[in-house]
Amino acid sequence: MKRYSKLLDRNKSALLIIDVQERILGVMNNKEFFLENIIKLIKGIKVLDVPIFLTEQYPKGLGETIHEIKSELENTAIQKMSFSCFGAENLFQELINKNISQVILCGIESHVCVMQTALDLIENGFQVNLAADAVTSRKISDYQIAIERMRANGVEITSTESILFELLNVCGTEEFKSVSKIVK
């Protein structure tokens, strides 16, 4: 018997946090729920020792990544001017070099930077898993349309908790106990 081939595998996955910056977060829809889920995702991914990448869109204008996220991470943000992370230095090549084929996306805004990145990742042969509860836009309609478009183009639409338990694969481990505390 075989398992579903698109289930996340921590040995070939990475988390990409897109543009959660000071000057844009304040105008986002449902920002508290969004932020709570992104923090859970980061903490759980760290427990599972999955690589994390972080981008900032034009930080001179939009500010740096918010403190709540920066304080959870050790890595420096990759700065970009393009909406898609395809234009973020050599990020896509780095993913390939690290044998990452599954990219978990979260961040801002669903219908611009997140969606363009998702579509470019798909075009370049990556499997994309979107944490739908850890992305947001200013308008609900933009968020909904972006989710529909990404789904129609092959993005796996899922949730923070689903992603973490998929990466865990089994219960009864110390990692399971740690992740369970994070998602509660």
- Return the domain boundaries, the chain: 10-183
The predicted structure's pLDDT at residue 59:
83
Handedness of CA 104, 107, 113, 115 (dihedral sign): positive
Which residues does the annotation mark as catalytic? 19, 80, 113
Q: Is the pTM of this model over 0.85?
A: yes
Give the tens place of pLDDT for each residue, 53-103.
999 998 888 889 999 999 999 888 999 999 999 988 899 999 999 999 999
Give the tens place of pLDDT for each residue, 101-151.
999 999 999 999 999 999 999 999 999 999 999 999 999 999 999 999 999
**Fold of the CATH domain 10-183:** Rossmann fold (3.40.50)
